[in-house]
Amino acid sequence: MSAPVLTEQTVPPVAPAPVKRSWHGYLRQPSAALSVLVLLVMVVMAVFAPLIADEPVGAGSDVLHSPSGAHWFGTDDLGQDIFAQVVWGTRTSLVIGLAASVIAIVLGTAIGLASAYFRPIDAVATVVTDVMLALPTLPLMIMLAAVVSPSVWTLTMIIGFFAWPEVARLIRSQGLVVSAMPYIDGARVLGATGWRIVTREILPAVVSLVIVSVLLTASRAVISEAGLSFLGLGDPDAWSWGRILLNAQRSGVIAIAWWQTLFPSLAILLLVLSATVAGMRFNDTRDPRRNGG
């Protein structure tokens, strides 16, 4: 009864106290707490990268050294520190991950809600969403990224643009449930406009789903970014995890410098895993079937 839930029994207006309690409950789950911690560490690493490690520049004399006290993650074929590259890569990966997911969320939520409430829009939007979902995204992203000149900004746009349909479909299905509820009819009888109903009545009811989507979409965006950078379509001036992998592959050192592929891959794995787990646990806490709401 307490938590705002998303099934037929939902009473959408959200009271502050239960929110606090559910956050607390959420963080009491070890897996959720751990994932949030990992995400926080990543964010700290991205924000304070210049304090943690010098930006990898120039060429050093320690070429292809394995991990040691001086170089925690070893060095690459130019003698640059892999640890510094991974730390600086966190910036690009997080920025692209978050920014792309914001684009996807804004587009996806708008389209999802619009099609949930306005029937004429639904017909068109559903078809567009299905078409977008059916497109082979990776090849298309590769094509686009090859045509435009690669930069953090263009990558973000491309990845964000291809990630919205899944959000839209999720939000629409939840929006359909909510818009069929009696209180929506009530609002309409009281003379509320469509805009007001969508933004004030339906949106708050799906907002927790939006939060979950942000996390999941961001983690997918991080993978896409790493993939595109690995294929050489990333921003050549910005460090990214995919670019470290590309450097290893291109200079033919995969066989002799395992550290150059292992650590950035671990970073990707950690970020994606913790974002996914954090999102799923968050979804669980909000799910009435789990907390007996």
Partner 1 sequence: MKSTVKGRWRLAVALGVVATLGVSGCGLNEDNASSSSSSGDSVLRIGTTTDVSNFNPLQSLSKTDSWILNAMYPHLLRIDENAKKAPELAKEYRYEDDGKTAVFVLRDDFKWTDGKPVVADDVKFSAEMTMKYKLGNVAAKLTWVESIEAPDATTVKFKLSQPYAPFAEGVGFWMSIVPKHVFEPAGDLSKFPNDSNWVGAGPFVLDSMTKGQRYVMKRNENYPLAPGGKAAVSQVEYRVYPDVNTMMLALRNGDIDLMGTPVPVSAAKTFEGDSKIKMEKVGALGFAHLTYNMKNKFLADQEVRQALSMSVDTKSIISAVLQGDAQEMAGPISPTFSEYDNSEVKPYAFDPAGAKAKLTAAGYKDANNDGFFDELAFGVACDQSNANMTRVVQLFRESAAKAGIKLKNECVERNTFLSRTKSGEYDIDASQWGVFDNPMDQLRSTYLSSNPGGINYNLLESAEIDKLINDAAGTTDPEAFKAKIKNLDKVVHDQAYLTPLYVENFRFAYNASKFTGFSPSPSDLLGMVTAYSLAQVTPVK
Helix (H, G, I), strand (E, B) or coil at 75: strand
Q: Kindly state whether residue 57 participates in binding partner 1, applying the rule CB under 8 A.
A: yes
Least CB distance from residue 192 to partner 1, whole Å? Answer: 46
Q: Which of 110, 288, 138 is nearest to 210 (CA)?
A: 110
Smallest distance, Å, CB 199 to partner 1? 37
Whose CA is closest to 18, among 289, 290, 285? 285
- Phi, psi (deg, nearest 5) at residue 73: -105, 15
- Shortest Å, Cβ 248 to partner 1: 8
* Distance of closest approach, residue 200 Cβ to partner 1, in angstroms: 41
Least distance CB 94 / partner 1 (angstroms): 17
233 binds partner 1 (CB under 8 A): yes
Nearer to partner 1, 95 or 197 (CB): 95
Task: Annotate 207-231 with three-state secondary structure.
Answer: HHHHHHHHHHHHHHHHHHHHHHHHC
Whether residue 13 contacts residue 204, with contact meaning beta carbons closer than 8 Å, is answered with yes
**Phi-psi label, residue 252: left if phi above 0, alpha if psi -120 to 50, beta otherwise:** left
Give the Cβ contact number of residue 33 at 10 Å. Answer: 14
One of 231, 276, 284, 287 touching partner 1 (CB under 8 A): 231
Indicate whether 253 belongs to the interface with partner 1 (CB under 8 A).
Answer: yes
DSSP 266-285: HHHHHHHHHHHHHHHHHHHH
Size of the site for partner 1 (CB under 8 A): 42
| Residue 62 binds partner 1, judged by CB under 8 A | no
Q: Which stretch binds partner 1 (CB under 8 A): 158-166, 180-188, 235-243, 280-288?
A: 235-243
Q: How far apart are the C-alpha atoms of 163 and 102, rounded to whole Å?
A: 10
Q: Binding partner 1 by CB under 8 A: which of 33, 78, 102, 106?
A: 78
Among 182, 255, 289, 292, binds partner 1 (CB under 8 A): 255
Give the residues lining the site for partner 1 (CB under 8 A). 57-60, 63-64, 77-79, 138, 146-147, 149-150, 223, 226-227, 230-233, 236-237, 242, 245, 247-256, 258, 261-262, 265-266, 268-269
